Amino acid sequence: MQEKQEKTGLVWFRNNLRVNDNSSLKEATENHKKVIAVYFFDPKYYKVDEFGFQKTAKFRAKFLIETIEDLQKNLSDLNITLLTYFNAPEDKIHTICDEFSIDTIYTQKEWTKEEIDTNDLVKNTLSDNIPFVEDYDQFLYHPETVSNDFSNTPNVFTQFRKKIEKTVEIQEISSISKLPDDNLVENSTEIVSLRDLGFDDFEENKKSAFPFSGGENSALERLYNYFFETKKVAFYKKTRNGLIGTDYSTKFSAWLANGSISAKTIYWKIKEFEAEFGANQSTYWVIFELIWRDYFKYISLKYDSKIFKIGGILEKEYHWNSDSEIIQKWIHGETKDDFVNANMIELKETGWMSNRGRQNVASYFAKELLQDWRIGASYFESMLLDYDVHSNYGNWMYVAGVGNDPRDRKFNTKLQAERYDTNHKFRKLWLEKTLF
């Protein structure tokens, strides 16, 4: 067994906000006698972007604060202190390294531009002898088991899925042991409030289909409830296109997005459920959706910053418009399409929208209104509780015809409404004004 280092290891949390199945945490605790952790509420993620939207609006901000409060408790139970700062990492990590004699930084491997830029800024402030240990910790299928060359990733999902299911195994879950009591250090830092981030406190909308709080404990509670208490997972494929309520879909995406739960944790729980109650199309379909999530990450690894470009990964030269009046009407649910409007109002009021809704409003924005799809993607980034950079931009490229849809489809929102909201229940929920 490897001998533990005398100096301290620092775990820098990013979108891996959990203690279970966290490779950075595992490596740090295996290699060091002392371990501390840090999380940054980086001010740049609360600024307004080039399209005029705040990168993180109030819904995800609140969910994130709840997540960090949960993470701090769970780490404390393992005798690990979590320091939290409302600072840019590059302004603070070097002082933490000096204060606590840090000799290695463990963090989740990132590859999109903003995160890479932050890494470079941090490394420029550190002495040369502090290495970064990074691991791809947000996948179902770990990249090291998939390919040495991401340029080989197929541009059609089905080809990717069939090959990966046949040839790659999913790794086991990693766990860590509790550290000695003397590993805890004095912590004078405080977790930010909504007001610190520039938001007023707000009450959750009673009609929300996502009434859940942030954090690993909440994620695991939902997992257990959806699988073993209600057994709704056994009907997922039949209900997943629903629009109202908590149980038409798994709702795992928000916790997956900030890493409160790992894709592997969900996968192995499905296998546990199947062993006890039997497998069916629905239990497989949850895995199928996790593979889609992986796929957009591999597409991002293959194409790098092309996923943010107007021509997408296909480099299509379509003419896109940028009409602020049309865009504002789409945002506020004031278009000519009542199904689109109901979904957009749900997003504005709750930070949540169903998968069926997202496909329709995105297609309407890009293919009907002919607006620059990146503006729609940017608004989703701001508002969605479950914003994930790769899935968001991958899906927007897909519906805009500049991504991975080989058929370049356009959604008929009228027919979609007739099929998925036959009795107008969803539209009534969000479009009718109530007195109470």
Question: Annotated binding residues for FAD, as ranges?
Answer: 236, 249-253, 386-388
CA 279, CA 10: separation in Å to the nearest integer? 41
343 exposed, middle or buried (CB, 10 Å; 0-12, 13-18, 19+)? buried
Q: What is the DSSP letter of 51?
A: T
Residues 6+ apart with CB under 8 A from 99: none
Residues 6+ apart with CB under 8 A from 227: 233, 269, 270, 272, 273
What's the full length of the chain, in residues? 436
177 exposed, middle or buried (CB, 10 Å; 0-12, 13-18, 19+)? exposed
If one counts every other C-beta atom within 10 angstroms of the C-beta of residue 319, the result is 6
Taking the alpha carbons at both ends of the chain, their separation in whole angstroms is 64
If one counts every other C-beta atom within 10 angstroms of the C-beta of residue 198, the result is 12
Residues at the binding site are 236, 249-253, 386-388
CA 341, CA 72: separation in Å to the nearest integer? 39
Whether the CB-CB separation of 384 and 60 falls below 8 Å is answered with yes
| E strand or H helix at 47 | none
Strand partners, 106: 11, 133
